[in-house]
Amino acid sequence: MHLVHLAGRGAMTLRPLADVSVADWFRGDPAPRRLRTTVGPSGFEAYVRVLHSVGGDGERFEGHLDAALLTALVDVLGAHTATPDDCFFALWEGYGDIHGGEAAGFLTAFSGPPKWPGRIFTKEKPVAPPPPAFPPHVMDGPLLSANDETYFLFGGPLADAGRWGAKGYGNGAPRDINSPNLMWPADHAWFVTTGIEGTWTGVGGSESLIAALLRDDRLETVRQRYDDGTLR
């Protein structure tokens, strides 16, 4: 997984949610599973792919929007909802760095202060494994089940997308968390989905939103038909 410095931009701003019923409106969508997971629920006027471009070298992040792309996308989305301060963000619970312990231990193996030469041959104290990213009431709380995956669910302003408020790893190593896998506003004006292995993000919304995304020079976008046969 490719990570950027999203979680460390400030104190916790998004709030974890125990009530996952806010997702009921799309969980039962009748569209084929592959369309729901890669493009979003049915019923929007238009759809687009936002490609995960990285510096113009042809590489694409899998399952992740870096900070610049996420900021650009959020800028456009915010102008096309009446509820930009009331949005929802889902984060796949399968990322090992969220759970800490041995699953994330390798991420801190080389962090911390350098060893003094005289101590190189001394026996080191065992390093405690990294703690979970979130407190117990979040880690053990209800999860959102959607698109055959499970997610932690957060709420807050659209401008705070990706600010999960995760604990650091320890030893001075910040914990960077993936960009949101699902995003939508309270007024259901649009829906954003980033599959955990996909190299593009699907957005469904009004024709005016999709046109604005296609025009934005910060984003590499391709119009997407809502047709299972067009996916590859």
Distance between CA atoms of residues 4 and 57, nearest Å: 18
pLDDT, tens only, 175-213: 888 999 999 999 999 999 999 989 999 999 999 999 999
Q: Is residue 219 part of a domain?
A: yes
Examine residue 118 and state whether it is found in any structural domain, yes or no. Answer: no
Does a structural domain hold residue 197?
yes
Q: How high does pLDDT run on average in the chain?
A: 85
Structural domain count of the chain: 1
Residue 115, in any domain of the structure: no
Distance CA 171, CA 177 (A): 17
The pLDDT value given to residue 11? 45
Closest CA to 8 of 175, 222, 198: 175
Out of 45-49, 96-100, 103-107, 172-176, least confident range: 103-107
pLDDT above 90: residue 96: no
pLDDT for 119 beyond 80: no
**What is the percent of the chain with per-residue pLDDT over 70, rounded to a whole number?**
80
Please give, one letter per residue, the 3-state secondary structure of 84-124. CCCEEEEEECCCHHHHCCHHHHHHHCCCCCCCCHHHCCCCC
Cβ–Cβ under 8 Å, residues 48 and 203:
yes
pTM assigned to the model: 0.84
Q: Is residue 148 part of a domain?
A: yes
DSSP label at 182? E
pLDDT-based confidence at 3, cuts 50/70/90?
A: very low
In a domain, 165, yes or no: yes
Residues 6+ apart with CB under 8 A from 103: 96, 97
**Looking at residue 176, what is its pLDDT?**
81
Structure tokens at 80: 């096309």
- 52-87: string of b/e by CB count within 10 Å (b at 16+)? bbeeeeeeebebbbbeebbebbbebbbebbeebeeb
Domain that holds residue 104: 7-108+125-227
Q: For residues 115 and 127, which has the higher predicted lDDT (pLDDT)?
A: 127
pLDDT reading at 58 higher than 60? yes
Burial label for 115, CB within 10 Å (0-12, 13-18, 19+), is exposed
In a domain? residue 119: no
CA triplet 217, 188, 32: central angle to 5 degrees? Answer: 90
> Is residue 120 included in any domain, yes or no?
no
Residue 216 — very low, low, confident or very high, per pLDDT cuts 50/70/90? very high
